[in-house]
Amino acid sequence: MNSDSPGESNDLRRARLRALATRHGVMFEVRRAQVPSAHGLLAIGYDVFLVGRHAGPMLSPGCTKCQTIWVDLGALAQAALPRPEWRTRISIRPFDHALHYATADAPGEVELVIEVRHRTDYANALDECEDVCLTRLLSNLRALGISDGRVDRSVT
């Protein structure tokens, strides 16, 4: 991991990122990205949702606190991104200015989505390259203390 600020060691940076993950109760969820095909739905990649809790009073979706949480999720995502294989693209979706709810009694959550897709031939079926990139990404997230909260059990 590279340092964000001069003089910050990898250990200090990792500790700072782990503290961010703890502060926001960050967890991740993996879903297959699918498109319609002649034979039903075709899995073409993965979406990894980093979810941070918006504790305290809700102001409004997209409020300053939501934006701060999203920026912190972005720092965690950037630190966890593996070097993609030559056939795979890994990107972060823009901020969506919305609060998400896992359950009716859950606090509001801010989501950051990391897409794992083919670099070219976007609608091709999943292959080993996307699987390897996903495995590396999830390993890096776990190393930052981020747990897999709501994982799609159909994902390997």
121 pLDDT tier (thresholds 50, 70, 90): confident
120 pLDDT tier (thresholds 50, 70, 90): confident
**CB-CB contact of 152 with 32 (8 Å):** yes
pTM for the model: 0.83
Segment 30-80, tens digit of pLDDT = 999 999 989 899 999 999 999 998 777 666 777 888 889 999 999 999 999
Question: Would you call 17 exposed, middle or buried from its count of C-beta atoms within 10 A (0-12, 13-18, 19+)?
Answer: buried
Q: How far apart are the first and last CA of the chain?
A: 26
Q: Where are the domains of the chain?
A: 10-148
With CA atoms as reference, report the closest residue to 65 among 74, 78, 52, 75: 52
